[in-house]
Amino acid sequence: MIRAALPLHETLGDPPIEWTLVDLFAVFVRRRAWILGSLALCCGAALLYWLCATPRYRATAVIEIHKDSHGAFGLDNTTADSPSTDVSDSFDDNLNLQTEVGILQSDALTLDVIRRLQLEASPDYFAPHAGPSAVIHKLFFWRRPLEPLTTPLAEAPNRRFAALRIFTAHRKIAPQPGTRLIAIDYSDPDPERAANVVNGLVQALADYGFQSRSSAAAQSASWLSAQLAGLKQQTDALDARAATLDRASGDYGDDSAHNPVLARLDSLNSALSAAESSRIVREAIWRAVQSGDPEAISGLAGNPDTGPNTQNSLALLQSLRAQESTLKSQIAESANRYGENWPAFAEQRAHLESIQNSIQEEVHRLGDRAHTDYEVSLQAEDASRNAFTQQKTLASQLTGNAVALRLARQEAGESRTLYSSLLGRVQQTGILEGLHSANFAVVSPALIPPPGHPTSPSLPLLAALAFGIGITAGCGTAIARELTDSTLYTASELEALLDAPVFATIPAYRLDDPWYRRLLPLPVDSTMNLQAAAESGFDTPNRETPFLEALHRLRVSLLLSHSDRAPQIITITGSSHGPANQNGRPSHDAPPSLALSLATILAQHGSSVLFVDADLRSAPVVSTSADPGLSDMLSSQALLPLAHTIVDLPSLSVVHAGARPPCPAELIASSRMNSLLAAWRDEFHFIVIRGPAAFHADALVLAQLSDAVLLAAQAGRTRRDEILPSFQALSRQVPNHAVLGLVLQHASPGSVYAHV
């Protein structure tokens, strides 16, 4: 249910109305003009947009992101001597996917594509527009470059800002859920240009990956080459020393299996080689970290020679980069959907800056740790070398030149082995750099869309949006109008408002139905001949219609309103009366008077009925004649009461209003009016009085003189704030023996029988 609170109900202390689905449907039917108008407006706007919008074509490319595996120095472990040890999971795949999406959405790649394809000269950007459309494009400040097109984008911040906004609005990058696929879309009025932009974006991504990997690999290879030069000199010196000792002492061997000094010397020699190798690797890691590139640094993860603290920092750095990529995607999606003025957009940008600052701090912290590890490994190497030197001195003292020769050969062999290993790694750098320059594959390149099938504007989509928005806005407007409308429409609303019985609900008058014309205002003249009566429609065969049936129900309700006897003087008034026509008379296109219709129904059942038009303020319901009317009878004691009897309906007599007096209330409240009513009580069974509007003083006087007072309201016209004061004023003036009832006129046919 829908609960609708009415202000007047709150004044009376009644609970708010609860709408059922049937009531809500009735509201929509009654307010259908608002709904249809809103629907027509939305459909018209959609049609206008479809006719005026420029056709756009969307090209799409799909790429697959490969699993990424990095070894030491940022190189892939794909050779036979360096088996792969990486373990891939869903988090790693999602991290790689989000990273690539963030790179595709970066400003650097966007500006590169704009520069390569010269998009600034296209209609979507800063191409000059001719004709009336030029005025429309000038309304958008970001479509008008503030710097000349000859200035490079890197040096034109305002033009660069506008170009990035335009490109982002037409670009769409969407990862496919559950896969390592990324769909790249771009829309443009030119189908060929749309395909070129998508393919250019894919090529820019490939170039970026190649440059990034090449830079990291080249940096590592450059430092390793410098280390190899010193290691080669050391190896040559050791070989020369071994040769010198060989010439001096001769070539002989020595069994060290039962010599603890030589065994320890061998162990210290192996430890020194391991410490030297560890120092070189950790120094290489430190040099790589000094580059400050988060992507190159993250490739150091999984290196067994790094310390536990460094491994933890690398894991944290990977996590922060994953958050950075995810947040960049959210910022791009928010910018595309809500614009940069969205309140949460600044919060997302601030969060991104915080994560980027954390990444830089972690990079600096990782550099400090790598330097610390390098210093520790350097100290360990020095300690191993000192121990080895001491042990070598001891061995030299024991074995002399033979031991020295053996040690010289062993040192030369270990140095040569280390040199060969590092030289092979340097050679791998160039090979793997060419093999794995890109970590994605193009599944489907962008093809030129068919020119006859633009992506937008889509007529079915526009029609669905126009229908949905129009119906929703129309229903909302109808409900809002219903809640703010104080007009009465149904008898239940009238009863709930005034807490009084509704005697009858009179249906709306239909002028095209001849059966409703039988109670049109009677043309009364001095003769009241048969022809006038025939024109009134009383010679029409008796056929029950909803209008006549409602009048019969009103008659029965009045007769049964008193338990002892039926009311004799019946006054019918309303909260207001409609305006008269230009000559002061009611229009023949207007509905018949309720008082005259009731008098006619009462007369048709054989009772003598007098209809008195006591509304001396508004237009009369019957034509005036030369005979005196009610105002003339009240203003002169000499005139006798004169009622016109209608031929063919002799039981009905009519007293017209007469000329308009200056003070109608004084005439109605005079003793002459009481005398007339007393005389008419003895002559007629019923006296039906058409009174003025209820807020006039003469209407209140008539209410005091009546046995029954009917307050008439017009469905769809009478407001609650009009009828409530009128009813309250009448309820204070109606005598105790009299009945105060309600009548709802011009009701819809469905509400007539719903109230029976």
- CA 600, CA 650: separation in Å to the nearest integer? 11
- CA 471, CA 473: separation in Å to the nearest integer? 6
**Angle formed at CA 304 by CA 302 and CA 307, multiple of 5 degrees:** 95
Q: Which residue has the higher pLDDT, 386 or 391?
A: 386
Taking CB atoms within 8 Å and a gap of at least 24, the contacts of 134-140 are none
The confidence band for 687, taking pLDDT boundaries of 50, 70 and 90, is very high
- CA 371, CA 130: separation in Å to the nearest integer? 64
Q: Mean pLDDT score of the chain, rounded to an integer?
A: 74
- CA 523, CA 588: separation in Å to the nearest integer? 10
What's residue 254's pLDDT?
Answer: 47
CA distance readout (Å), 23 to 4, 473, 492: 11, 19, 12
Q: Which residue has the higher pLDDT, 434 or 491?
A: 491
Q: Which residue has the higher pLDDT, 110 or 618?
A: 110
What are the respective helix, strand and coil percentages of the chain, to the nearest 5? 60, 10, 30
Q: What is the pLDDT of residues 321-358, one digit of tens each?
A: 778 788 778 787 777 777 777 777 777 778 878 887 88
What's residue 332's pLDDT?
Answer: 78
Q: Say what percent of the chain tops pLDDT 70.
A: 70
Highest-pLDDT range among 215-224, 233-242, 694-703: 694-703
pLDDT at 3 over 60: no
pLDDT at 142 over 50: no
Identity of residue 25: F
What's residue 186's pLDDT?
Answer: 92
Q: What is the pLDDT of residues 451-489, one digit of tens each?
A: 888 888 888 888 999 999 999 999 999 888 888 877 887
Q: What is the pLDDT of residues 75-89, one digit of tens each?
A: 444 444 444 444 446
pLDDT at 250 over 80: no
From 3.30.470.20, 2.30.30.830, 3.40.50.720, 3.40.50.300, which CATH number describes the 503-578+591-754 domain? 3.40.50.300
Region 623-635 average pLDDT: 73
Region 538-564 average pLDDT: 73
Q: Say what percent of the chain tops pLDDT 90.
A: 8
pLDDT at 555 over 70: yes
pLDDT at 283 over 80: no
> In a 3-state reduction of DSSP, which class is residue 414?
helix
* pTM summary value: 0.48
The confidence band for 185, taking pLDDT boundaries of 50, 70 and 90, is very high
Q: Which residue has the higher pLDDT, 417 or 518?
A: 417
Region 49-75 average pLDDT: 75
Tokens at 479, concatenated: 């409900």
What's residue 515's pLDDT?
Answer: 42
> Which residues are 28's β-sheet partners?
none
Domain spans of the chain?
1-53+457-485, 223-434, 503-578+591-754
Q: What values do phi and psi take at 8, rounded to 5? A: -70, -30
pLDDT at 16 over 70: no
What's residue 728's pLDDT?
Answer: 87
Region 682-686 average pLDDT: 90
Pairing mode, if any, of strands 17-19 and 181-188? unpaired
The confidence band for 296, taking pLDDT boundaries of 50, 70 and 90, is low
**Where does 545-629 have alpha helices with state H?**
546-559, 594-604
Q: Which residue has the higher pLDDT, 138 or 314?
A: 314
- CA 720, CA 495: separation in Å to the nearest integer? 12
pLDDT at 427 over 70: no
